[in-house]
Amino acid sequence: MRIRRLDLTRYGRFTGRTIDFGPAGENEPDLHVIYGPNEAGKSTALAAFLDLLFGIGPRSPFNFLHPYPTMRIGAALEFARGTRELVRVKRPQNSLLGAGDQPIPEAIVQAELGNIDRESYQTMFSLDDDTLEKGGESILASKGDLGQLLFSASAGLSDLGRNLEEIRGEAERFYKYRARSGELADLKARLATLRVEREKVDTFAAQYAQLVATRDKTFSLYNDALAERAKIESRLGEIERLLIALPRLGALRDIRQRLLPLADLPDIPRDWAEQLPGMQKDEIALATRAQAAEDEVVRLEGQLAAIIVDRTALALTERFSGLSDLRARYVTATKDIPERRLQSREADLVISGILERIERKDEPEPGKLVLGASITASLQALVESWSGIEAALKAAENELDAARGGVEEARVQLDAAGGTSESEGNPSGIASSLGPVVAALRADDHAARRRLADRAHATHLRALGDRMQELRPWSGDIEQLAGLKLPDADTIDRWKKEAAAAQRQLDRREDEIERLTTERDRIQAERDALAVTGIVSDQEASDVRMARERAWASHRRSLDEASADTFEATLRQDDIVTTTRLGHTTDLVKLQEASRALVVADSSLGRAVSLRDAAKTVLQRVGEEMAAALGDASPALPVTMTLPQLEAWLSRRASALEVRASLLSVQHDRDGADSDARTAHDRLTAALAAKGITVEAEPGFEALLETAQDAIDREGELEGRRAALAARQRDQRGRERDLEKVTAARTGWMDAWQSACKRCWLGDAETMPSIGAVREILAALVEMRPVLEKRASFADRIEKMENDQAAFAVELEAMARDLGIASAGVATLDLGRDIQRRVDAARAAEADRISTQRDLDAALAKQRALAADIAIHAQLKTERIRCFGVQSLAEMAVKLQTIEKRNGLQEQYDAAARDIVAMLRISTIDEAERLLDGLERGTLEAELAEAKPRFADLDQRSRDLFSDHSKACDAVEAVGGDDAVARIEERRRTTQLDVEDKALRYLRLRLGSAAAEHALRAYREQHRSSMMARASDAFRTISRGSYESLATQPHKDGEMLIAVGADGRSKTAMELSRGARFQLYLALRVAGYHEFARSRPSVPFVADDIMESFDDFRAEEAFRLFADMAGVGQVIYLTHHRHLAEIALRVCPSARLHQMEA
């Protein structure tokens, strides 16, 4: 980057100041020296340059003349891609502006600066005494980019070492030499855990084979033990049974002994003993019951012989009971018949009453008079419609009369209104032609407008008078006022501005003159005071010297005493003056300054006076111009009018002219209204004439309008009357038509009535019956129909009942004949009761006979059954007694008891034998006896005592073996087919992959950072020599060989710079003199600048009088180095030492000198 031009537009003391560095010369060092005395603003310019690049700080001190919002720095900067115009203003954001004051990103400038921040730039390449020293120290402390550059060999590498450490640390999270923990250790532990886990759950093939073998082996052992155990168990049981059987055999043999004497008793069925007591009881009971049966049979046979039955009556039983219904009807009829006959006679009376009502008293068959439904309906319909027809006819006649009256009334009204009904087809047309004209003229507002205009005119005239009064002293009429030629607004405005500016100028200059006069007087007084205190002014000294020189010249010419005295006197005076001046050097200087200041003050005063006079002239000129203009306009206007007075007068004139304009407008309105009124009058007159309506001479507009309206109204009324008459006539015709219709309907009804009557006996008479008669007949016939029906029904009932009574009597008489009962003269019902009694007695006797016969049959059957039982019992008894060889049942009972005892013993014997046989598990008791007889109880007990513990041992062993076998089976089963091992293996495999993956990552990071560390060492080695060598050279140059070179030596955390003197002694920076140290610092910047420029675009190097402590020779060397740097980038040196500027130009003739004025 290079700065082409710096615009100090508004910054610090600068306003619109520019420093133009121009383009860089071809192949010439780009070195610029800015020379300016103290206070010329060099430091401000440097600050402005930094502010341009990095922004104006929030509390910039450079706002004393231009406040913050107005501060502005501009520049033309040469960037890699061309020159750019930039502007910096003071704002929190977007303070960097480009073309058209559009904000542009800071990055544009930052990129060109190689992203150095302000502080770094200040400490590296924008130097004054302060930053040179501070920055130098920080470089030596290896801080900042240059510090890093010097010691770490390159800017930007500063963090690499640390970052590499971080990367290495990251790698070592996986594994670190001698560290016990870390990811690798964790993963290894995991692998080990998984291995153990697998071993815990897994079974290998060999193990499995072993498990199966164990299972099979235990199974076989278990089986063997079981067999052995069973054998002993069986023997133990056997011995125990034998020992039990032995005493049982003894008991058996005892019973056998007791049975022997009972052996010859017969074997009888088991139930005989039980049946014996029953048989003895039965024998007695059977004998008793046989006797009782015999008695019963005899009693019943006697009873049966005593019963006699009436057979004839019994035969009629059914026939008689069949008469019960007929009898009931007979009884009912006897009660009903008289009642029905009474009712039938009542009906006859009703019918004859009705016949009398319809005047057919002698009608033999009243049924024939009843009318059919259709005829009844027709007659009723006609009767009902008759009243409607009658009413309609009446109404129609009334309405026709009313309509005729209405027509007459309308005709009378029309005549009264003066019209005739005949002219209705011939309207006069007055309304159609006059109506619109009148309506339009009524809507016209000319009269109102005329009134308004008159009022406004009067008001404006009054206002105008007032306005004209306000214009005094000017007098004249309004038209004169309007015609005045007055100066225009622009002119007045110009006068105002000029006068105001001149007045301001005048005021300021007056103040200035006042101040300057005071100032000059003060300086004058000061100078005079100095002169009074004996200071000889330059002028006086010069006069004395001139006098001396003249005296010397004259003395030389004459060389006499007088001239010598004169010369001496002047010489002495000159000496005195000189001595005085020497003695008052300070005062003299002050005197000189005062004189200079006086001159300056005089000059300023003069300038102020001339400016004031110029302002006065302007004021005067304005006044004159105004007076001239007023004079031209009107003699009535006073020329002495001031500018504000004139402005006020002009404003009043303008309002007067406004009133005039309003007045003119009102007059115009009034004329318009008048003209409209005339036009309306003419139009109405013409319209009336056209209709032949005459008017009196010269009528007013309102009268005309009224006449026309009257004509229109009258026409309207006549039209109304005619229309009313026509409507009434239409109404009358309608009524007449209605009456005709009703009359026709009545005739039709009469015809229908006649034909209806003819269809029945009503039409038999010569005259048709009246409506009233028919209505009565119809009602009577309706009443008669049910009475007729009721009478027929009564007659029918009476006949049926009489028939029933006759049938009942005939039947009873027939039965009485059969029974031999005399019926003659006996009432029917009494006869019935006699027959009943006979029949009931016969039925009772028959029932008694049947019941007794049944009892007898039962007694005979019982007797027969008893005889059979007795026979059976006797046979059984005989059979059993014979079996025992005894005579009675009692003897037989004794025998039976003995047999029972024998049977008990036999059962005991059998049970004992069965037990023994079962115990010994052999088939017969004989074998058992043989076996037991061959045994010794003592021997058996001994064997038992020996076998029992053996059995216990074997039992325990088989249990143990069973348990072993179960466990072995379980173990084989436990292997299972689950995937636990496979899953552990998979986890192990994944963990291995994880280890490998992380190991690779570790290696990459470790190897990569190792390679980078190697490379970094090499890089530092290569680059350190470069900057250090340059700094060494530069320092040697600036120190003019006092120091031979720079070197480093390790120190605490890093390295330390030492300067090696020409004498070979080395010093640290702090041990150098201030001058030498500043030279070292500059040398470092020079070297850094070159080093920096190697890797980035160059930036301007700016230094502000940093060579105060350098002697001229060293300054010269420094400028040589600057010139050298200027070959790489732009170098700007600001100084207030002219000799430094001269040295710079001598060392580098192409350097450009820029002057800055104080």
Partner 1 sequence: MAFRFVHAADIHLDSPLRSLALRDPELADLIGNATRQAFTGIIDLCLAEEVDALFLAGDLYDGDQTSMKTARYFANQLHRLDQAGIRVLIVRGNHDALSRITKELVLPDSVKVFSGRAEAIPVEGAAGEPRVVIHGLSFAQPHAPDSLLGRYKPPIEGAVNVGILHTSLAGAPGHDPYAPCSVADLRATGFRYWALGHVHKRFVADGPCTIVMPGNPQGRDINEAGARSVTLGTIADDGSIRIEERRTSVAQFERTVVDAGGLADWRELIATIAKALEKTRASVAAGHLVVRLQIVGKTPLAWHMRSDLDLLRTEVEHRAAATGACSVEKLEIDCQPPDVSPVSPSDPIAELRRLIESEIVGSDAFQQDAIEIGEELRGQLPQECRHLFGADEAGLKSFVLSLAQEGADDVLARLHAQAKAGQG
- CA proximity to 7, closest of 25, 23, 19: 19
Note whether 980 binds partner 1 by CB under 8 A. yes
Alpha-carbon distance 187 to 996, whole Å?
Answer: 10
CA 170 distance to own-chain centroid = 47
Note whether 117 binds partner 1 by CB under 8 A. no
Stretch that binds partner 1, among 160-168, 424-432, 527-535, 1148-1156 (CB under 8 A): 160-168
Q: Among 129, 985, 1105, 1142, which residue interacts with partner 1 (rule: CB under 8 A)?
A: 985
Stretch that binds partner 1, among 396-404, 455-463, 518-526, 1004-1012 (CB under 8 A): 1004-1012
Q: Answer yes or no: are the C-beta atoms of 768 and 754 closer than 8 Å.
A: yes
CB 977, min distance to partner 1, A: 3
Q: Among 745, 1011, 1062, 1153, which residue interacts with partner 1 (rule: CB under 8 A)?
A: 1011
Question: Which positions from 183 to 202 touch partner 1 by CB under 8 A, shown as an x/- string?
Answer: -x--xx--x----------x
Alpha-carbon distance 364 to 353, whole Å?
Answer: 14
Using DSSP's 3-state secondary structure scheme, residue 9 falls into strand
CB 997, min distance to partner 1, A: 6
Note whether 381 binds partner 1 by CB under 8 A. no
Alpha-carbon distance 340 to 347, whole Å?
Answer: 11
For residues 401, 403, 405, 407, the Cα torsion angle rounded to the nearest 10 degrees is -150
Alpha-carbon distance 18 to 863, whole Å?
Answer: 177
Stretch that binds partner 1, among 430-438, 519-527, 561-569, 995-1003 (CB under 8 A): 995-1003
Q: Which residues pair with 5 in a beta bridge?
A: 20, 76
Note whether 702 binds partner 1 by CB under 8 A. no
Q: Answer yes or no: are the C-beta atoms of 909 and 300 closer than 8 Å.
A: no
- CA proximity to 519, closest of 578, 628, 438, 600: 600
Nearer to partner 1 by Cβ, of 198 and 545: the residue is 198
CB 1087, min distance to partner 1, A: 16
Residues 6+ apart with CB under 8 A from 890: 280
Question: Which positions from 386 to 425 touch partner 1 by CB under 8 A, shown as an x/- string?
Answer: ----------------------------------------
Nearer to partner 1 by Cβ, of 395 and 1010: the residue is 1010
CB 147, min distance to partner 1, A: 16
Note whether 996 binds partner 1 by CB under 8 A. yes
Within positions 233 to 252, which residues make up the interface with partner 1, using CB under 8 A? none
Q: How far apart are the first and last CA of the chain?
A: 29
Q: Answer yes or no: are the C-beta atoms of 1126 and 1090 closer than 8 Å.
A: no
Alpha-carbon distance 645 to 839, whole Å?
Answer: 172
Note whether 108 binds partner 1 by CB under 8 A. no
Nearer to partner 1 by Cβ, of 70 and 210: the residue is 210
Nearer to partner 1 by Cβ, of 155 and 597: the residue is 155
Nearer to partner 1 by Cβ, of 165 and 549: the residue is 165
Burial 24-48 (b: 16+ CB within 10 A, else e): eeeeebbbbbbbbeeebbbebbbbb
Q: Among 390, 997, 1111, 1112, which residue interacts with partner 1 (rule: CB under 8 A)?
A: 997
Q: Among 80, 205, 744, 1158, which residue interacts with partner 1 (rule: CB under 8 A)?
A: 205
Residues 6+ apart with CB under 8 A from 42: 34, 36, 1104, 1105, 1134, 1135, 1136, 1156
Nearer to partner 1 by Cβ, of 206 and 765: the residue is 206
Q: Answer yes or no: are the C-beta atoms of 210 and 972 closer than 8 Å.
A: no
- CA proximity to 544, closest of 564, 569, 508, 513: 569
Asked if the peptide bond before residue 473 counts as cis, ω within 30 degrees of 0, the response is yes
Stretch that binds partner 1, among 275-283, 452-460, 568-576, 987-995 (CB under 8 A): 987-995
Nearer to partner 1 by Cβ, of 440 and 1007: the residue is 1007
The token duo for 343 is: 């009712």
Nearer to partner 1 by Cβ, of 399 and 994: the residue is 994
Note whether 157 binds partner 1 by CB under 8 A. yes
Using DSSP's 3-state secondary structure scheme, residue 1133 falls into strand
User: At 1086, which amino acid appears?
Assistant: V
Within positions 1071 to 1100, which residues make up the interface with partner 1, using CB under 8 A? 1094-1096
Query: Nearest-5° angle of CA 1093, CA 44, CA 129?
Result: 60
Alpha-carbon distance 183 to 824, whole Å?
Answer: 151
Q: Which DSSP category does 163 fall into?
A: H
Nearer to partner 1 by Cβ, of 157 and 571: the residue is 157
Note whether 159 binds partner 1 by CB under 8 A. yes
The count of other CB atoms within 10 Å of the CB of residue 665 is 12
Size of the site for partner 1 (CB under 8 A): 67
Q: Which DSSP category does 2 fall into?
A: E
Alpha-carbon distance 262 to 736, whole Å?
Answer: 158
Note whether 990 binds partner 1 by CB under 8 A. yes
Nearer to partner 1 by Cβ, of 553 and 980: the residue is 980
CB 1024, min distance to partner 1, A: 13
Phi, psi of 1102 (to 5 degrees): -125, 130
Alpha-carbon distance 743 to 397, whole Å?
Answer: 10
Q: Helices 42-54 and 118-125 meet at what angle, rounded to 10?
A: 140
Within positions 54 to 93, which residues make up the interface with partner 1, using CB under 8 A? none
Nearer to partner 1 by Cβ, of 46 and 984: the residue is 984
The count of other CB atoms within 10 Å of the CB of residue 53 is 26
Note whether 181 binds partner 1 by CB under 8 A. no
CB 1026, min distance to partner 1, A: 11
Note whether 1007 binds partner 1 by CB under 8 A. yes
Nearer to partner 1 by Cβ, of 497 and 983: the residue is 983
Q: Among 560, 624, 736, 986, which residue interacts with partner 1 (rule: CB under 8 A)?
A: 986
Note whether 572 binds partner 1 by CB under 8 A. no
Nearer to partner 1 by Cβ, of 18 and 1025: the residue is 1025
Alpha-carbon distance 54 to 88, whole Å?
Answer: 9
Q: Among 163, 433, 1073, 1155, which residue interacts with partner 1 (rule: CB under 8 A)?
A: 163
Nearer to partner 1 by Cβ, of 194 and 598: the residue is 194
Alpha-carbon distance 5 to 22, whole Å?
Answer: 7
Nearer to partner 1 by Cβ, of 184 and 841: the residue is 184
Stretch that binds partner 1, among 36-44, 761-769, 891-899, 980-988 (CB under 8 A): 980-988
Note whether 633 binds partner 1 by CB under 8 A. no
Using DSSP's 3-state secondary structure scheme, residue 33 falls into strand
Q: Among 123, 154, 1079, 1098, which residue interacts with partner 1 (rule: CB under 8 A)?
A: 154
Note whether 976 binds partner 1 by CB under 8 A. yes
Ranges of beta strands (E only) in 611-697 are: none
Q: Among 15, 83, 94, 115, which residue interacts with partner 1 (rule: CB under 8 A)?
A: 115
Note whether 482 binds partner 1 by CB under 8 A. no
Stretch that binds partner 1, among 208-216, 438-446, 744-752, 917-925 (CB under 8 A): 208-216
CB 1113, min distance to partner 1, A: 35
Query: DSSP secondary structure string, 383-438?
Result: HHHHHHHHHHHHHHHHHHHHHHHHHHHHHHHHHHHT--GGGGGS---HHHHHHHHH
**Given the rule CB under 8 A, which residues bind partner 1?**
115, 154-157, 159-160, 163-164, 167, 175, 177, 184, 187-188, 191, 202-209, 212, 975-983, 985-990, 992-997, 999-1000, 1002-1012, 1014-1016, 1018-1019, 1094-1096
